[in-house]
Amino acid sequence: MLLRDSYAEINLGAIAHNIKLAQQLGNGEKIMAVVKANAYGHGLLEVLDTMIACGIDLFGVATLSEAIAIKQKYPQVDVMILGHTPDKYLNVVNERGIIQTIFSLKQAKVLNAFAVPTRVHIKIDSGFHRLGFAPKREAIGDIKAIEALPNVEVEGIFSHLALGERADDVAQYELFTKFLSELKAAGLTFKYRHICDSISYTRYPEYRMNMVRLGAWLFGMKSYDQSELDLIEALSLKSRISHISEVKAGEGVGYDYLFRAECDMRVATIPIGYADGYPRNMSNGGYVIIDGKPAAVTGVINMDQMMVSLLDHPNTKVGDPVTLYGAADGLPIGKIAEIAKTNKNEIMCRLTPRVARIYR
C-alpha cells in the first residue's frame, strides 16, 4: 500500500528485456542472476518471478539471510552465496540446500560433517585480494583434499576481475586459467568455471567460460564500453511537490542557509531525503526533473525532505510530479552517480525500506 507521495517505480518489463538481451548475446553460458542487496534496491522477492519466467534458475547473493529469503519462497531454484558464511552458520547452508562459496579446507571440513552433501564453488584470488585461495602449489593440495571429501560436492570454481586497467584484467585472467590448467593436470576439473560479471561480460567475451554472473546488467546499468547496448534502466525514484515557498532575495533556504536567494524566487519542497537513500551530497549541486525540465536542488538535503528551485518553472504547483532519477524522464542513474561522486550500484542499493516499490 502506498502511503506517501515518494516511491520507487520498477519496470519489470525492462528487467525481462535485459535478461533476454544477455541470452541473445551469449553462447549458451549459464547465467547466474546476482540479486544481492535487495536486488540492487529493486526488491529481492518481487523481481524473481520475472527472472524465473525468463529462464533464470540460479541466483547469486552475498549473505545467508538473502539466500534463505529466496529459498523460502522459491525452493525449486538454486541460490549461491558469493560471500563468506561463518562456520557456525554452515549447518543452515546445508539444511537449506544452498550453494556456498568456500576458500579454505577448514570450511570444507565443517561442511563435510553433515550427513547430506553441500554444493560449493571454490573461490580463487587472482589479484582482487578480497576472498579466495591464492593460486599457488599448496592450494592445489587443499583443493584435492576438498574434492576427496564425500559430503562436499565441488560444483564450480571462480574468480573476480578488478576491472581497472585492461593489462591488469588480462593478467588476472591468465593467472586464473593457468591455475585451472594446473588443477586439471592434478586430476581436478569443474562443472562450472566463471570470472565474468556484468562489465566483463561484454568487455571480455572471450573470458565467459561456461557461466557468467550478471547483476547490474539485469537492471539496465551500463559501463562506458556498453553504451551501444540496448539495456533499459528498470528503476525510477519519484515524488510530488508538498509545498511551495516564496523566498525573497537575500533570504536563506534550509540548514545553515547554505543557499541564499540572489533574487525573489519560489522554492518547492519534496518529501524525500537522505533517510530514503537520496544522496545528501547532491545538496546545492544536483537537480530533479519537473515538467520535463531540470530544477536545481536548493540548500542542504534533509533527512526527510529537500528543496528545489522553481526559477524555470513559473507554472509549477503543489502536487505536481517530480522525478529524482529515471532514465525515461531524462535523468539516468548514471548522472546522479556522477554528481554524487559514486557509482551507479550504490545509488540503487542505498534506497531504504521506507521507500515503497511500485511494480509495473
DSSP 34-80: E-HHHHHTT-HHHHHHHHHHTT--EEEESSHHHHHHHHHH-TTSEEE
Sheet of strand 152-158, all strands in order from the earlier edge strand to the far edge: 192-194, 152-158, 118-123, 99-102, 78-81, 58-61, 30-34, 211-214
CATH for 83: 3.20.20.10
Residue whose grid cell is 578480497: 130
Do 48 and 188 lie in a common domain? yes
Question: Residue 225: its pLDDT value, please?
Answer: 73
User: How many domains is the chain partitioned into structurally?
Assistant: 2
Q: Which of 196, 221, 246 is the last residue of a domain?
A: 221
37 in any annotated domain: yes
pLDDT digits (tens, 9 = 90+) for 140-150: 999 999 999 99
Do residues 180 and 280 both lie within one domain? Answer: no
Which backbone phi and psi does 128 adopt, to 5 degrees? -70, -30
End position of a domain, from candidates 221, 245, 271 = 221
One domain for residues 217 and 104? yes
Asked whether residue 192 is domain-assigned, the answer is: yes
Residue 266 lies in a domain: yes
| Residues recorded for the chain | 360
Clarify whether residues 111 and 243 are in a common domain: no
CA atoms of 231 and 327, how far apart (whole Å): 11
Binned average pLDDT, 10 residues per bin, the chain of 360 residues: 95 98 95 98 97 97 98 98 98 98 98 98 98 97 98 98 96 98 98 97 96 98 83 98 98 97 98 98 97 98 98 98 97 96 97 97
pTM of the model: 0.95
Are residue 216 and residue 241 in the same domain, yes or no?
Answer: no
Task: State the maximum Cα–Cα separation within the chain, in Å, rounded to a whole number.
Answer: 78
Please say which residue of 161, 192, 221 terminates a domain: 221
CA distance 181 to 266: 67
Q: Which of 269, 278, 342 is nearest to 309 (CA)?
A: 269
| Residue 212 shares a structural domain with residue 263 | no
Q: How far apart are CA 88 and CA 11, in angstroms?
A: 39
* Statement to judge: residues 215 and 283 lie in one domain: no
Residues with a catalytic annotation lie at 36, 255
294 with 264, same domain: the answer is yes
For residue 227, tell me if it sits in a domain.
Answer: no
Domain that holds residue 31: 12-221
In this structure, the answer to whether residues 74 and 196 fall within a common structural domain is yes
Residue 4 lies in a domain: no
Q: Which of 113, 111, 83 is nearest to 97 (CA)?
A: 111
Residue 7 lies inside a defined structural domain of this protein: no
Same domain, 284 and 144: no
The answer to whether residue 2 sits within a structural domain is: no
* 309 and 274 belong to one structural domain: yes
CATH of the domain at 260: 2.40.37.10
Quick one: 138 and 58 in the same domain? yes
In a domain? residue 355: yes
